[in-house]
Amino acid sequence: MRVLIDTARCEAHGDCVMAAPDVFDLDEEDNVAVLLMADPPEALREQVRQAADDCPVAAIRLEG
């Protein structure tokens, strides 16, 4: 699985950080989500799917 964040779309709501704190963080200076890992291990995939579902502006894309 690869994770991509559309930073132009992200409004820093932080839902992704709540759902998958090992994978997403917030850059408070730039007010945008950042990826801590772009290719999360199997054990984190459910959290990452939840994060993508929770994002209110659909800024998280999953591939693979």
Per CB under 6 A, residues contacting ligand SF4 are 5, 10-16, 24, 33, 55, 57, 59-60
**Cβ-based neighbour number of residue 14 at 10 Å:** 16
From the CB of residue 62, how many other CB atoms can be counted at a distance below 10 Å? 14
Residue 58, token pair as written in the block: 């659909």
Give the nearer residue to ligand SF4 in terms of CB position, either 39 or 53.
53
Of 56 and 64, which CB lies nearer to ligand SF4 in the complex structure? 56
Residue 17 Cβ vs ligand SF4, minimum distance, rounded to whole Å: 7
Query: Which residue, 16 or 48, has its beta carbon nearer to ligand SF4?
Result: 16
CA distance 2 to 12: 20
